[in-house]
Chains A and B, each alone.
Chain A
Amino acid sequence: GAVVSQHPSRVICKSGTSVKIECRSLDFQATTMFWYRQFPKKSLMLMATSNEGSKATYEQGVEKDKFLINHASLTLSTLTVTSAHPEDSSFYICSARIGEGTYNEQFFGPGTRLTVL
């Protein structure tokens, strides 16, 4: 099956620093990648949709200047949490979609646990 990786799996940083999370589709090309955030015992909340070569589409309430998304190639999307604060601590998960069909399945990465001190 399709494999999506994320790096790093876990990061601890000081308040005010920026953190970059990478999402890679290892054995397929993903024209669309999605970034989710999950709080403890909560649902996965879609943050943004990332299309290769174009600007990301952010969900309502998500600060685009805070969460920078770059989809530089068909196999890589990055999420940069700028000037991180403790409230940004969360589990961030990316997913990648194969193809352009409406119902094409999304494959999820293993997630990145961000802790901001």
Chain B
Amino acid sequence: DQQVKQNSPSLSVQEGRISILNCDYTNSMFDYFLWYKKYPAEGPTFLISISSIKDKNEDGRFTVFLNKSAKHLSLHIVPSQPGDSAVYFCAASSIYGGATNKLIFGTGTLLAVQP
């Protein structure tokens, strides 16, 4: 049962344009969401997060939007740069998971930014 889904396995955008990566979740208990960036043969690196009490969080070129009613979040990257090319994972957790803070990851979206 995939509780966190990223339905687009890949996305290609032109440099300078906006990249929009989408993520859907099924568990209404999730209340904290994160985006990670991952290069091949490396561990994920944290990008940005959002709590369920917010619907938007912005950090430089990266903005995450959360639509709780639709159980949907998205990551916007603008402007996109070739160095942004990587696999992006969304992840979710729940305060009800306790102190272990388990993260449930989506399947990832491979972003390719074309020069």
Contact = CB atoms under 8 A, between A and B. Distances in A.
Co-assembled chains A and B: yes
Interface of A: 4, 6, 9, 32, 34, 36, 41-46, 49, 57, 91, 93-95, 97, 100, 102-111, 113
Interface in B56-115: 89, 93, 95, 98-108
Contacts of B100: 32, 49, 57
Interface in B19-72: 32, 34, 36, 41-46, 49, 51
Contact of A43 (B46, B51, B108): B108
Interface of B: 2, 4, 9, 32, 34, 36, 41-46, 49, 51, 89, 93, 95, 98-108
Given A105-B46, A107-B46, 6 more contacts: A44-B44, A44-B89, A46-B104, A93-B44, A102-B32, A103-B51
Contacts of A110: 41-43
B108 to A, nearest CB: 6
Would you list the 4 A-B pairs with minimal beta carbon distance, nearest first? A108-B43, A44-B105, A43-B107, A43-B105
A45 B105 CA distance: 7
A100 B51 CA distance: 18
Contact of B41 (A34, A95, A111): A111
A111 B42 contact: yes
Given A43-B105, A43-B106, A102 B44 contact: no
A102 B95 contact: yes
A48 to B, nearest CB: 10
For the residues of B in contact with A, the DSSP-based class is: mixed
25 contacts: A32-B101, A43-B2, A43-B89, A43-B105, A44-B44, A44-B89, A46-B104, A49-B100, A93-B43, A93-B44, A95-B43, A102-B98, A102-B101, A103-B32, A103-B93, A103-B101, A105-B34, A105-B46, A106-B101, A106-B103, A107-B46, A108-B36, A110-B42, A111-B43, A113-B41
